[in-house]
């Protein structure tokens, strides 16, 4: 009986979403977060529930959760194989994340996830309509056919050329980062932090830490944009003390851009003030 009632309710909601979108929007605002628990709680109806989910995306430019996964798939670019999303503390942090820069450049839509339940949802909703879902702030960014062979070869060449710089930065930040590498996510920002492929997402980690959960230590991956003037300045810096200060400032700024709290805000301010004074003299 429970299964029959669940199917009936899901069919009713699907009909409402299709024929009465304004009423469904009201329903979603009241009960959307509860529905987001569905894929984890009811595996058998995961696909039906997934079609009822609504998200904010870079396509609409506002915080309202009005777009379905079917809407997203219908707008996917030719050659796009994945559904991309980002999870953050709030809408502004998500939409302004440096991780979205390459997606804006290539015109690729990204889901903007800001509810506390979202990362948990995505851990149980690994694909939709045959398309896998990828967190743009995790692991190596794979745009598949949307990246040209020339772009991939150029990145490999730059990474090899800047290997000494990457090693210097890794030495300077050895206590803070697991790896330093060249980015293919950024176009405007100098740097960003990335979570390893199989590590817990940054947003979920912050939520659990705030709830008092004891979590294993985890270090992020630090990515540098070789085209940015600050990174070029970093490469040319011969004073190791100043090099270390600048590397730490870029790392702290990358964390702030993702909505994270700094481990030592006072040290960040001291380094920044020190560099500002040097520049003003």
Which tens digits make up the pLDDT trace of 234-255?
A: 999 999 999 999 999 999 999 9
Answer yes or no: is pLDDT of 13 > 60.
Answer: yes
In which band, very low, low, confident or very high, does the pLDDT at 150 lie, cut at 50, 70 and 90?
confident
Residues in the chain: 281
Domain boundaries, the chain: 10-138, 147-280
Write down the CATH number for the domain with range 10-138.
Answer: 3.40.50.11260
Q: Does the pLDDT value for residue 57 go beyond 70?
A: yes
Tell me how far apart the alpha carbons of residues 257 and 208 are, in angstroms, rounded to a whole number. Answer: 20
> Does residue 185 contact residue 224 with C-beta atoms inside 8 Å?
no
User: What pLDDT sits at residue 148?
Assistant: 77
Average pLDDT, the chain: 89
Give pTM, 2 decimals.
0.88
| Distance of alpha carbon 261 from alpha carbon 258, whole angstroms | 9
In this model, does residue 213 exceed pLDDT 80?
A: no
- Tell me if domain 10-138 and domain 147-280 are identical in fold: no
Q: Is the pLDDT of residue 22 over 90?
A: yes
C-alpha distance from residue 194 to each of 59, 99, 178, 183, 201 (Å): 24, 9, 10, 10, 9
On whether the CB atoms of residues 245 and 267 are closer than 8 A, the answer is: no
CATH of domain 147-280: 1.20.120.790
């Amino acid at each position: 009986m429970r299964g029959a009632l669940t199917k009936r309710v899901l069919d009713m909601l699907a009909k409402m979403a299709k024929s009465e979108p304004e009423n469904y929007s009201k329903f979603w605002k009241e009960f959307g977060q509860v529905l987001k628990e569905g894929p984890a709680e009811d595996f058998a109806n995961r696909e039906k529930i997934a079609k009822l989910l609504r998200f904010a995306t870079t396509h609409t430019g506002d915080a309202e959760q009005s777009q379905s996964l079917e809407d997203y798939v219908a707008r996917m670019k030719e050659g796009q194989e994945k559904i991309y999303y980002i999870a953050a503390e709030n809408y502004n942090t998500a939409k302004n994340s440096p991780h979205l820069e390459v997606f804006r450049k290539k015109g690729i839509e990204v889901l903007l996830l800001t509810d506390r339940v979202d990362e948990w949802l995505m851990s149980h909703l690994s694909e939709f309509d045959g398309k896998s879902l990828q967190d743009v702030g995790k692991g190596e960014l794979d745009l598949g056919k949307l990246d040209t062979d020339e772009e991939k070869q150029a990145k490999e060449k730059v990474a090899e050329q800047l290997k000494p710089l990457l090693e210097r930065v890794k030495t300077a930040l050895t206590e803070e980062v697991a790896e330093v590498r060249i980015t293919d996510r950024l176009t405007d920002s100098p740097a960003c932090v990335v979570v390893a492929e199989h590590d817990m997402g940054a947003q979920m980690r912050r939520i659990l830490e705030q709830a008092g959960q004891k979590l294993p230590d985890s270090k992020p991956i630090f990515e540098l944009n070789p085209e940015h003037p600050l990174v070029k300045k970093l490469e040319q810096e011969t004073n190791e003390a100043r090099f270390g200060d600048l590397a730490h400032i870029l790392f702290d700024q990358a964390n702030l851009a993702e909505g994270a709290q700094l481990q030592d805000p006072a040290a960040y301010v001291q380094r920044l003030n020190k560099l500002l004074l040097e520049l003003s003299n």
